[in-house]
Amino acid sequence: MEQVLSTVPVALAFSVPIAAVGALVLHRMRRRSITAAVSVLVLVPVIATIVGVVGVSGFMYTPQLAGTVAVCAVVAMITVPAAVVLGRGIARDVMWLHEARDAERAAEQSRRELVAWISHDLRTPLAGIRAMSEALADGVVHEADEVSLYATRIRGETERLTGMVDDLFQLSRITSGALRLTLSAVPLHEVVSEAVAVEGVAAARKGVQVRAEEHGTWPVVWGSDPELARVVRNLLSNAIRHTPPDGAVVVAAGVRDDRAWLRVDDGCGGIPDDDLERVFDVAFRGAKARTPDNTSGGGLGLAIARGLVEAHHGEIHARNHGPGCRFEVRLPLATGGLTDR
């Protein structure tokens, strides 16, 4: 017993410096690879044990020394790979936590921006409705033509509010995962034709030409007709709003790499490069030159379009093209894929 106790100071004299060096190395690696740090954490006790045993043996070869080193080597061969796997798992979990935290911060910022924009946009039509209704109630406006004009304006403001509420409801369904699509084969030509006819009324009032490129074939996509119609209408509405009078908005579609594509080209004058990645963010409106007029909604159209496209397992992108911007959507093809037009 006394002989064993007498070897403890020797073992500590050799093992403690190794452990101290290992602790210093771990401290230096605290901002680096988690996998490497875990591997070092496993290796340090093994190395310290081997050095301590060698020191106790007086650096002389003995069967006991050889057996101890062999056992430590086997332990290292098992624990180091396990530490590498564990470290990579921890690194993935940490990365996922960082991404989740960043996504949560982005979502919170987006919610704040949305509340700010909607609060501002709601006040404008509500103030107009209140002022005009008070004028009617107080008899300030009593001529038949004036009463009819005020009633028409109140109806217009009410329709704006209804559209904003509908957009909020649709966006909440998308972001909450409550959106359920009824999928079928949808000819894009029919969707585009209907959207052009509906949005063409607003375009004509502004003096903007809206047309669909006519060619031999149009893709048939696998999707939900109402949601795809809303995507096209939102893109057209956005393009018309930002295209100056006498400008043109052109819609085209086709097939590339076994996927359907649909694009909307406008004459907005372009989007700053820093804003291209943000045009689909909730309530984003970009530079002052591209800020919609007071007849626009809450800046949710493109965000809704992106959500609906992604719900179809598709993609949507924006880039500058010619005198304006190009918004392109890619969607899965239905069986058959094409229709003649």
Q: Which residues pair with 185 in a beta bridge?
A: 222
Question: Tokens in use for 334?
Answer: 């239905």
pLDDT at 58: 66
Angle at 91 between CA 85 and CA 92, to 5 degrees: 90
Q: Is the pLDDT of residue 288 over 70?
A: no
Contacts of 281 (CB under 8 A, 6+ apart): 110, 113, 303
What's the mean pLDDT when you consider all of the chain?
80
Cβ atoms of 210 and 249 within 8 Å: the answer is yes
Angle at 28 between CA 26 and CA 32, to 5 degrees: 85
> In the structure, what pLDDT confidence band is assigned to residue 1 with cuts at 50, 70 and 90?
very low
Q: Quickly count: other Cβ atoms within 10 Å of residue 128's Cβ.
A: 16
Residue of higher predicted confidence among 332 and 297: 332
Cβ atoms of 48 and 15 within 8 Å: the answer is yes
Residue of higher predicted confidence among 31 and 143: 143
Question: Tokens in use for 287?
Answer: 């530079």
**CATH code reported for the domain at 184-340:** 3.30.565.10
Where does residue 275 rank: exposed (0-12), middle (13-18), buried (19+ CB within 10 A)? Answer: middle
User: How far from 277 is each of 48, 124, 274, 316, 322, CA to CA, in Å?
Assistant: 53, 29, 7, 11, 19
C-alpha to C-alpha distance for 204 and 207, rounded to whole angstroms: 5
C-alpha to C-alpha distance for 291 and 26, rounded to whole angstroms: 53
SS (H, E, C) the chain: CHHHHHHHHHHHHHHHHHHHHHHHHHHHCCCCCHHHHHHHHHHHHHHHHHHHHHHHCCCCCCHHHHHHHHHHHHHHHHHHHHHHHHHHHHHHHHHHHHHHHHHHHHHHHHHHHHHHHHHHHHHHHHHHHHHHHHHHHCCCCCCHHHHHHHHHHHHHHHHHHHHHHHHHHHHHHHHHCCCCCCCEEEEHHHHHHHHHHHHHHHHHHHCCEEEECCCCEEEEEEECHHHHHHHHHHHHHHHHHHCCCCCEEEEEEEEECCEEEEEEECCCCCCCHHHHCCCCCCCCCCCHHHCCCCCCCCCCHHHHHHHHHHHCCCEEEEEEECCEEEEEEEEEEEEEEEEEC
Q: Is the pLDDT of residue 277 over 70?
A: yes
pLDDT tens track for 106-152: 777 767 766 777 777 778 788 888 888 988 888 888 888 888 898 98
Q: Quickly count: other Cβ atoms within 10 Å of residue 340's Cβ.
A: 7
| Cα dihedral 74→76→80→82 (10° resolution) | 50
Q: What is the mean pLDDT of residues 271-293?
A: 67
Residue of higher predicted confidence among 12 and 315: 315
C-alpha to C-alpha distance for 150 and 135, rounded to whole angstroms: 9
For the chain, first and last CA: distance in Å? 98
Q: Is the pLDDT of residue 235 over 80?
A: yes
In 3D space, the residue among 202, 219, 215 whose CA is nearest the CA of residue 297 turns out to be: 202
Residue type, 117: W
**CATH code reported for the domain at 109-176:** 1.10.287.130
Q: Quickly count: other Cβ atoms within 10 Å of residue 313's Cβ.
A: 11
> In the structure, what pLDDT confidence band is assigned to residue 89 with cuts at 50, 70 and 90?
confident
> In the structure, what pLDDT confidence band is assigned to residue 289 with cuts at 50, 70 and 90?
very low
Residue type, 56: V
